[in-house]
A and B are shown apart, each in its own frame.
Chain A
Amino acid sequence: MASSAVIKKSDAVVKKRTFHRSPFYQGWKRFKNHKLAVIGMVWVVLFLIAGIIGPYVAPYDYRSGDFLAINQGPSWQHIFGTDNVGHDMFSQILYSVRSALIIAFGATVVSFVIGIILGLWAGLRGGIADMIIMRAVDFMMTLPGFLFALILVILLGRGYTSLILAIGIPGWAGYARLIRSLVLGMRDGEMVEAARALGASQAHIARRYMLPNVIGSMGVALAFGIPGDLTQIAGLSIFGMGLQPPIPSFGNMIAQASDNILGFPWLLYFPAGIFALTLLAFLFVADGLQEAFSPKGGN
């Protein structure tokens, strides 16, 4: 499996020499043909922009509720309506986008860093370290990460940093396994052997041959990781263990709205709709990236 991937990837490198096209350029060309992925990309970019500038353009503060205007439907003052304490839902959503992005990206980075360290260690050292790490990976993979996240939330609390750690720490196993397999496939691969035979330095091999070949797979794994982490954050809130309530989050809004859904359904439309579309967009992008950059993705 891994070795065939290497051979196919090495073909790509040969093409790069002959046609002066980087694998990224080729991947981008394939990605552009994937319409859903491009639409998803647009939404993701909008979401990122909303997360960055959201708190500055939000018409109302997330903390201050207008008690004279509770449970209102969408209107010109409150385009997404207001909730049961008079919070402006549009502002709530803008702040939620930021909190969701901070935690999802933070948690993905935490998982990825732990995964990369342990995966590299297992792949490069081999032997007993490899065995212990892979046992730990098996252990983590048997049980859902959400279970570990729940217990970690109890230990760490419900702030930003604790949630990043609680969701990030249990997620390392998948990345570690991927990176280990990439390293193993690469270390003994023909391409690296050939480069070594030609007298290339270790750093040159790593930069010129190893990195371009693993970066695609890792990008795809990361792209799939972010929507997964977004789901977990909201899931923790549904469970009553997400971000501490005054800070808005999609999970809290969805959980709250589902409590009085029969009276005020618009409280649900926007948070649940935007959240669902965002997850979908991230997944389309990840899917597009996979088709564009994974070894099997070529047309």
Chain B
Amino acid sequence: MTVAKFVLKRIVQIIITLMLVITVSYIMMYYSPGGFMNSNIMATVLAPLQGQNPVLYHKIMEQFESRYGLNLPLWRQVLKYIWHELTFNFGNSMQNPSLKISDQLKQSLPISSLLALGSVLLSVIIGVPLGIIAALKRNTWIDYVVSSISLAGQAIPAFVLAVIMVLLFGVVFQGILPVTGWGTWKDVILPVICLAAGNIGVVARYMRGSLIETLRLDYIRTAKAKGVKYWPMVFKHGVKNSLTAMITVIGPQFAFTVMGTIWVEQIFAIPGLGQVMQSAFTSFDYPLAITSVFLLGSMIMVINLLVDIVYALIDPRVKL
């Protein structure tokens, strides 16, 4: 299969998956008890009105429903959402009716993407050398230390690390790095470290396993027999070949990191996609919630597609 055909097929798959995601999540939200008008913010305003002036109340509700298409039959609402999301016409949110969702996302999406990509990058930069060391010093104390650390990084979720970081840099080492807010380059450091910790573990473990397996292969034995020195053998023949397999972990890791991002943003008070999602979900803001789910899903799937393409390009053994 040619690359173009493969990419086309995958894009069609991604679109179908996104349509399914929008449908499933919209139907679930549609049937959820409560709605935006019953959520905490609106209820305080509207509940008294319902008793005092029922006519006005119904008028407001009607206007609200027709504005967001809530008076249409469910299947038409779903189709409307699918069409609007896929054409990137996100409309307005319910919380800020005057603000376009696309404007709101223009600020938050780059922040979350920066955090996610930065942490994946950092985890590769640190995880790969750790994995190589562990593989070469297999079954020695170095290997055990690296394995335990990477297991610990994997076990402790990003939000727990984040609160520990806030404690460390907010209380113990006050003033070195900022622990809340967003603005300067310094604000990026702590969240990225928290997000990368889990991935470092995964990358290191995977690299270790992959390198050990590669070093057992026949061509390594041949290289050894031919008299290739140890380090060139390890790096040129071993690491280079096990690195290509590493690329496949990045896809799932990215998905994992994106979810970590929305947690870490809560702790560090970073105005990213996580904050947008949180306010959307807790106040039943359907357009915003669906849009954030759509964006997260498409981000993850597009990265997965890119990973597959890169993998096929650099490893001639892989066929698309």
Please list the residues of chain A having a beta carbon within 8 angstroms of any beta carbon in chain B.
Answer: 36, 139, 142-144, 146-147, 150-152, 154-155, 157, 227, 231, 234-235, 238-241, 254-255, 257-258, 261-262, 265, 268, 272, 275-276, 279-280, 282-284, 287
Contact = CB atoms under 8 A, between A and B. Distances in A.
Given A238-B263, A262-B171, A268-B167, A143 B33 contact: no
Contacts of B164: 268, 272, 276
Given A139-B17, A144-B255, A283-B151, 18 more contacts: A142-B300, A142-B301, A142-B304, A144-B258, A150-B277, A154-B32, A154-B284, A155-B28, A155-B31, A235-B159, A238-B267, A241-B281, A254-B163, A255-B266, A257-B163, A261-B163, A268-B167, A275-B160
A279 B278 contact: no
A284 B148 CA distance: 9
Interface of B: 17, 20-21, 24-25, 28-29, 31-33, 148, 151-152, 154-157, 159-160, 162-164, 166-167, 170-171, 255-256, 258-259, 262-263, 266-267, 277-278, 281-282, 284, 289, 293, 296-297, 300-301, 304
- Shortest 5 CB-CB contacts between residues of A and residues of B: A283-B155, A280-B155, A155-B28, A155-B32, A144-B259
B300 A143 contact: yes
A241 B155 CA distance: 22
A143 B255 CA distance: 7
B152 A280 contact: yes
A144 B300 contact: yes
Contact of B170 (A36, A147, A261, A287): A261
Contact of B166 (A152, A258, A284): A258
B259 A261 contact: no
Contacts, number: 109
A276 B160 contact: yes
Contact of B266 (A151, A238, A275, A279): A238
B20 A139 contact: yes
A147 B297 contact: yes
B282 A262 contact: no
A147 B289 CA distance: 11
Most chain B CB atoms below 10 A, which of A143, A152, A279? A143
27 contacts: A36-B148, A142-B297, A142-B304, A143-B297, A146-B259, A147-B293, A147-B297, A150-B277, A157-B33, A227-B155, A235-B259, A238-B263, A238-B267, A239-B262, A239-B277, A241-B281, A258-B267, A262-B170, A268-B163, A268-B167, A272-B163, A279-B156, A279-B157, A280-B155, A282-B155, A284-B151, A287-B151
Contacts of B170: 261-262
Contacts of A257: 163
Nearest to B157: A231
A151 B28 contact: yes
A239 B289 CA distance: 14
A255 B264 CA distance: 11
B21 A143 contact: yes
B282 A241 contact: yes
Contacts of A254: 159-160, 163
A283 B154 contact: yes
A204 to B, nearest CB: 37
B9 to A, nearest CB: 14
B291 to A, nearest CB: 13
B281 A150 contact: yes
A139 B23 CA distance: 13
Contacts of A261: 163, 166-167, 170-171
Nearest to A284: B151
B108 to A, nearest CB: 15
Contacts of B282: 240-241
Nearest to B262: A239
A172 B103 CA distance: 37
B201 to A, nearest CB: 10
A282 B152 CA distance: 11
A87 B147 CA distance: 39
Contacts of A272: 160, 163-164
Contacts of A151: 24-25, 28-29, 293
Contacts of A154: 28-29, 32, 281, 284, 289
Contacts of B24: 151
Nearest to A250: B160
Contacts of B156: 276, 279-280
Nearest to A255: B266
Contacts of A139: 17, 20
A262 B269 CA distance: 14
Nearest to B27: A155
Contacts of B155: 227, 276, 279-280, 282-283
A245 B188 CA distance: 31
A276 B160 CA distance: 7
Nearest to B297: A143
A199 B258 CA distance: 54
Given A147-B297, A235-B157, A283-B151, A142 B17 contact: yes
B151 A239 contact: no
Nearest to B152: A280
A275 B155 CA distance: 10
Nearest to A156: B32
A282 B151 CA distance: 11
A144 B304 CA distance: 13
B222 to A, nearest CB: 24
Nearest to B154: A283
B20 A239 contact: no
A114 to B, nearest CB: 16
A58 B305 CA distance: 52
